[in-house]
Amino acid sequence: MSLIPSLPSSHSRSLAAVGLAQDLPPIRRTVEGTIDYDWYLGSARRARADAYRSLFRAIGAAFAAWKKSIRDRRARKRALAELLGLDDRTLRDMGVNRAGVYFAVDHGREDTPTPANANESPSRSPRVA
């Protein structure tokens, strides 16, 4: 038995047109035959708890991203202050000029040198004595 009244066949609108699906599950009832309100309240509480959980997760993720952006901005300002506090000769020894300090802090070095130990195979096989 469903609480949704059946529409007359002459009616042109279906249940789906008014937002109700025809394949709704039957109403959950208790042993006495009354509607099981406790089950519906429990499922509503679970749905609300899930909604709050996802909301607080999203707020926490936004707060963590905001905190990380502040931390990154402070680290950038610290690096700029430290590099701009060096004299021109020291900067030149590092391969950076004053104008290139901002680029170096934001993007790193343009010319990354090859590592000293590239683990390449030797051109000749080593002799074992």
Q: pTM, whole model, 2 decimals?
A: 0.52
What tens digit of pLDDT does each residue of 24-82 get?
677 888 899 898 999 999 999 999 999 999 999 999 999 999 999 999 999 999 999 99
- Cα–Cα distance between 106 and 27 in angstroms, integer? 62
As a whole-number percent, the residues of the chain with pLDDT over 90 amount to 43
What tens digit of pLDDT does each residue of 73-128 get?
999 999 999 999 999 999 888 888 888 899 889 887 666 666 666 666 656 655 65
At residue 61, the pLDDT reads: 97
Contact 98, 84 (CB under 8 A): yes
Contact 99, 84 (CB under 8 A): no
